[in-house]
């Protein structure tokens, strides 16, 4: 069975193939390559981006609407769905087959959740999956083979002092159950958001925040050793010269073809979050906000790249046109989309969520970083990309070719 990885931020983990974990890793690399090349030689008329979760401002403004974006029509549709969905933001998001998994997150009152909520894009129906071992927000989820790893984040409610989650759970879509693995520890247990990718040889999860009030200078990317993981996570720092930040959107570009390396792209983020000590990274000036008084909030335009085998220095790609943190990102038909986010440059970030959508066509470039030419237009045209109907941040963006 082939599965596709989502995007939805946060520590990098090195992975080596091992007999006991081969079922966890064997399909991921090929599936990702198929996903990133799908549509390059075929019609993209049925290709869509899906947006789930997130908020238009404060946690009390969590959004229940599921959006789909038609590439061929350049339009966003607010889908009519069935089933029950409890709106959450800053959850962990992953795609498995036609289904989108929403793990944890903050509800509208700022309470961290342990729920698994599943949206089937084929039937437009919400259903419930097995609960996580503990409540978690600001975590990440990544598909590896036939399972989904759910990692990191914070374990507390939004209005209480920040506490690191050591979440390391393995979710099985075939049984809809989550099983706790050996807890993350040290820097791998730092709070994190919106950055997790896998390519069959590496699981990459980026951490960004400890219990301190500010973005930690120890922001890291890690490998997860697949030989003994996820039962016993052993990590190695990945790459050098990574710019420390939170709220990064990450994608894996796996172009396939002889001589072309896979690349992790880390997009935007937040380099300052001063005096906010609470579980909600946005701070106390939001309804159900964090503890402390937020005095600085700095989103950035930074885009970095790192080539497999993920041991060298992070390179710098063309910056985003506008500073953005907590956006969603996905690759569809060799186009990288960055959707929504927060342009916050001051404490009142709950008024700075955006509707903007940017795109960049991707071209394989051997072992050199793929070219990124950001535009607010449909790639190759002068037609403006359709923007989100409502500003949104802390959401998941999922590509389904």
Taken in order of first residue, the domains within the chain and their CATH numbers are 12-400 (2.120.10.80)
Say which residues have a Cβ less than 8 Å from residue 303's Cβ, sequence separation at least 6.
265, 266, 267, 268, 316, 317, 318, 319, 320, 372
- Each residue's pLDDT tens digit, 141-152: 988 888 999 988
Partners of 49 in the beta sheet?
A: 69, 399
pLDDT value, residue 273? 67
Residues 174-178 have a mean pLDDT of: 97
pLDDT tier, 204 (very low <50, low <70, confident <90, very high otherwise): confident
pLDDT value, residue 216? 59
| Least confident range of 141-155, 258-272, 273-287 | 273-287
Helices (H), 188-317: none
pLDDT value, residue 235? 65
Q: How far is CA 160 from CA 140, 191, 254, 291, in A?
A: 21, 14, 40, 6
Q: How far apart are CA 306 and CA 150, in angstroms?
A: 23
- Each residue's pLDDT tens digit, 87-118: 999 999 999 999 999 999 999 988 999 999 99
**Shortest CA distance to 248 belongs to which of 312, 307, 306?**
306
Average pLDDT of the chain is 79
Partners of 329 in the beta sheet?
A: 338
* Element of type H or E holding 148: strand 147-151
Unique residue bearing structure tokens 């935007």? 268
In the predicted model, is pLDDT for residue 246 greater than 70? Answer: yes
pLDDT value, residue 193? 62
Taking residue 86's Cβ as centre, other Cβ atoms within 10 Å add up to 15
Higher pLDDT among residues 213 and 382, named by residue: 382
Total-model pTM:
0.87
Higher pLDDT among residues 320 and 290, named by residue: 320
Higher pLDDT among residues 216 and 335, named by residue: 335
In the predicted model, is pLDDT for residue 29 greater than 60? Answer: no
Q: How far apart are CA 311 and CA 104, in angstroms?
A: 31
| Percent of residues, the chain, with pLDDT higher than 70 | 71
Unique residue bearing structure tokens 């440059």? 345
* Element of type H or E holding 36: helix 28-37
pLDDT tier, 85 (very low <50, low <70, confident <90, very high otherwise): very high
């Amino acid at each position: 069975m082939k599965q596709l990885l989502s995007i939805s931020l946060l520590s990098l983990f090195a992975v080596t193939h091992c007999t006991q974990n081969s079922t966890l890793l064997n399909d991921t690399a090929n599936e990702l390559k198929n996903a990133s090349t799908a549509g390059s030689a075929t019609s993209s008329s049925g290709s869509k981006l899906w947006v789930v979760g997130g908020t238009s401002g404060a946690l009390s403004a969590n959004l229940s609407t599921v959006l789909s974006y038609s590439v061929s029509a350049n339009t966003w549709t607010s889908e009519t769905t069935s089933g029950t969905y409890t709106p959450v933001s800053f959850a962990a998001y992953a795609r498995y087959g036609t289904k989108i998994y929403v793990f944890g997150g903050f509800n509208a009152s700022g309470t961290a959740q342990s729920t698994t909520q599943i949206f089937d894009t084929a039937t437009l129906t919400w259903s419930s999956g097995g609960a996580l071992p503990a409540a978690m927000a600001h975590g990440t989820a990544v598909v590896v083979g036939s399972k989904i790893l759910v990692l990191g984040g914070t374990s507390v409610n939004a209005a209480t002092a920040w506490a690191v989650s050591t979440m390391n759970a393995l979710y099985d879509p075939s049984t809809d159950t989550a099983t706790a693995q050996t807890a993350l520890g040290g820097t791998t247990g730092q709070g994190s958001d919106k950055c997790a990718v896998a390519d069959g040889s590496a699981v990459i999860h980026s951490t960004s925040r400890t219990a301190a009030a500010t973005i930690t200078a120890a922001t890291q990317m890690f490998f997860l050793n697949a030989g003994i993981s996820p039962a016993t996570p052993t990590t190695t720092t990945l790459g050098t010269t990574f710019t420390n930040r939170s709220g990064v959107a990450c994608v894996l570009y796996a172009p396939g073809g002889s001589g072309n390396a896979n690349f992790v792209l880390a997009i935007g983020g937040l380099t300052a979050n001063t005096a906010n000590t609470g579980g909600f990274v946005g701070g106390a000036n939001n309804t159900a906000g964090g503890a402390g008084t937020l005095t600085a909030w700095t989103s950035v335009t930074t885009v970095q790249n790192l080539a497999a085998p993920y041991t060298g220095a992070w390179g710098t790609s063309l910056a985003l046109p506008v500073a953005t943190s907590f956006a969603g990102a996905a690759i569809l038909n060799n186009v990288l989309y960055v959707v929504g986010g927060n342009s916050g440059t001051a404490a009142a970030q709950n008024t700075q969520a955006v509707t903007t959508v940017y795109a960049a066509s991707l071209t394989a470039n051997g072992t050199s970083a793929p070219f990124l030419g950001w535009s607010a237009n449909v790639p190759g045209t002068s037609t403006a990309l359709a923007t989100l109907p409502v500003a949104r941040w802390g959401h998941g963006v999922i590509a389904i070719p």
